Amino acid sequence: MTRKLFGTDGVRGQANSHPMTAELALRLGAAAGRYFRRVGQNDHRVVIGKDTRLSGYMLENALTAGLTSTGMNVLLLGPVPTPAVGFLTRSMRADLGIMISASHNPAADNGIKFFGPDGFKLSDEAESQIEAIMEGVIEPAQPRNIGRAKRIDDGLGRYVEYAKTTFPGRGLLSGMKVVVDCANGAAYRAAPEVLWELGATVIPIGVAPNGFNINENCGSTYTDTAVAAVVAQGADLGICLDGDADRVLIIDQNGEVADGDQIMALFAARWATEGRLRGGALVATVMSNLGLERFLEGRGLRLERTKVGDRYVVERMRQGGFNLGGEQSGHIVMTDHVTTGDGLIAGLQFLSAMVETGKSASELARQFAPVPQQLRNLRYGAGREPLAAAAVKAVIADAEARLVGRGRLVIRKSGTEPLIRVMGEADDAVLLGEVLDGIVAAIQAAAPAA
């Protein structure tokens, strides 16, 4: 069944424009409520979290109206990280979890992500079935069965306490100075609190959300602010989160940034040595660097690749019984601890490695030399399908032939924006630039930006 509304990570778009309108959110909530109601039981509950965008209030109210109209009881968490919603959905025995967030996107955007009762994101099949319900007549609950809604004041505290338990010891961060950039987003309270309670000297930035400044000149998509703070403050480490705190980048004491590939390489190597890496493999997407794959192979480990999207990483992890996966962008999924990417808990695991080895962040954050990689994002006009053009297909085929045995290409449509993402990597950076320039030119000629 083809999904029309859901993308690679829920439903996403500009607030107050289709599909991120109050009307659609209400209907989506009603459809999800109807899908998850369990026959013969009266206590149907859903937890809803959000980030700090102004439009979160509108969508939260609309979803609540739709859900309660079908008999779901709604528990409102307020601003919490996305992984907290996954954790609390399972912990509070809810039928459904919802996170209102557009993650790393600008404040004008928003999105709706769904979690099942096990705390994992919904499958493509489940999302398709919810869409099918939306297209029909949604049966409301009888008046006496309409759901209730209430605020849950201790949801954030529950997550904070849980996050601390993933760190192997209390007070072990004493004497460590940590910059944490919360992107003016969902972790603006949780992340500094966890680090401080574990003993660190915390320098928080991006902790003054106003509804409009999420991800603005801060967070994992703009590391300059945190880099400057790490260097100026003489910090041991910088932890850069995105707007909903499900991804992280690490900044070493010299101001150098480590992406998700380097973080996963560190964890995989350590876990394998300790006998904790299940299946002898790390799961990552097609976007992860070839250098990571070579690093793992050199240690007798495998890289299992999936299509882009942390949900697909998690699906493969569950299918194969693996416990470590993620994305180059900084989603780090550790199913021994969490059901989705968790930037804060990944940051704690990096700090744990520093404490246990006595090594600096710079020694741990550079596990392999990346193969030269370039990513070009090309916006295209509505209604266009540039990758279907014969001229584009021919140029891509020629480029792939030139890179055989020397590199690789990944060319795909974005699941959240009208973009074609053209990624290539090769040991020969000059060759790589030439083939990517040719592909970009062909795509732009076939479908110029609107």
CB atoms within 10 A of CB 131: 18
User: Which of the following is catalytic: 55, 101, 103, 352?
Assistant: 103
Distance from C-alpha of 323 to C-alpha of 327, rounded to nearest angstrom: 14
Is 288 marked active-site?
no
DSSP-derived 3-state class of residue 206: coil
Distance from C-alpha of 310 to C-alpha of 332, rounded to nearest angstrom: 9
Cross-strand partners of 303:
282
CB atoms within 10 A of CB 387: 16
Structure tokens at 244: 């909903």
| Cβ atoms 141, 123 nearer than 8 A | no
Distance from C-alpha of 159 to C-alpha of 340, rounded to nearest angstrom: 14
**Which residue intervals of 110-223 are DSSP H helices?**
124-135, 155-165, 190-197
Query: Which run of H or E residues covers position 423?
Result: strand 419-426
Structure tokens at 16: 């107050």
Of 218, 250, 255, 249, the closest CA to residue 233 belongs to 255
Written as one string, the DSSP assignment of 325-342 is EE-TTS-EEETTT-SS--
Which active-site residues does the annotation give?
A: 103
